[in-house]
Amino acid sequence: MSAAITTAPAGPRPGLPWRSSLAVFLLMLLAAAAAWMLTPRAPPAPSGADALPRLEVAVPTVIGEWQLVPSLQEQVDLAVDGDGERLISQPYDQTLLRTYQNARGEQILLAVAYTRQQSQEIKVHRPEVCYTAVGFEVLSLDPARLDVAAAGTPPVDGMRMVARSVHHTEAVSYWIRMGSIYSQNAVDTRLHLLAEGLQGRLRDGALVRASRVIADPAEAQAAYPQVEGFLAEFAAALTPEARALLLL
């Protein structure tokens, strides 16, 4: 007859020494505090007298020799993804699409967008991406110092682009204000947003884009001075509040 094998009831399992438990607790507390401090936060939404100006009101209908007109020329959307689909989640708080015409019948297409909060995932869309997404071929894209700022303000570092579709070709000048910088490429944008995010800040951003339809890409160099002359008059005509949204 085999002897019965008995096992003693298991006693309480030894736990971490209290000093180790305290150290783990303090590490978890520090990690939670660091995560809270590094979470980007947008400034409180302005209200009342400090509310953001409405672009459709702040941007005049007459800018120098240019007057607002209805146009049959459809503008490239400000919020399309890489596949040409319009984004369901609108990245902008305000947008403005207008056509201006002078006495000679020449037209300038103006697009303005503003967003209070930007992140790596949601930010001002670069025009070359939007144009490509809706079927344009970007023939050239070059950094440019745009002579549109008022005296005593920082120069505007923008871009010049020639884009062609099956319907028409455009000479485009634009700038993107990304927090406290003008962004001329996607790398600048991501690095700036990353640096600001690590300091717990969400930055606002703005895009100002003007273009003119041209018959041939070779006409772009002659079109840029007119487009940027319009942008200079546009910037000068803004209210101080609107200027603070769109320029440094």
Question: Phi and psi (nearest 5°) for 118?
Answer: -125, 150
Contacts by residues 72-79 (CB-CB < 8 Å, ≥ 24 positions apart): 73/99, 73/107, 73/109, 73/168, 73/213, 75/99, 75/109, 75/111, 76/111, 76/127, 76/130, 76/131, 76/134, 76/136, 77/130, 77/134, 78/111, 78/113, 78/125, 78/130, 78/207, 79/113, 79/125, 79/130
Q: Which pairs count as long-range contacts for 49-54, CB under 8 Å and 24+ apart, including other chains?
A: 52/93, 52/94, 52/114, 52/116, 52/241, 52/245, 53/239, 53/241, 53/242, 53/245, 54/94
pLDDT given at position 19: 65
Distance, CA of 166 to CA of 161 (rounded, Å): 17
Intervals of the chain under pLDDT 50: 1, 33-49, 86, 88
Could you give the residue ranges of the DSSP H alpha helices within 39-113? 55-58
Q: What's the pLDDT at 40?
A: 47
What's residue 214's pLDDT? 98
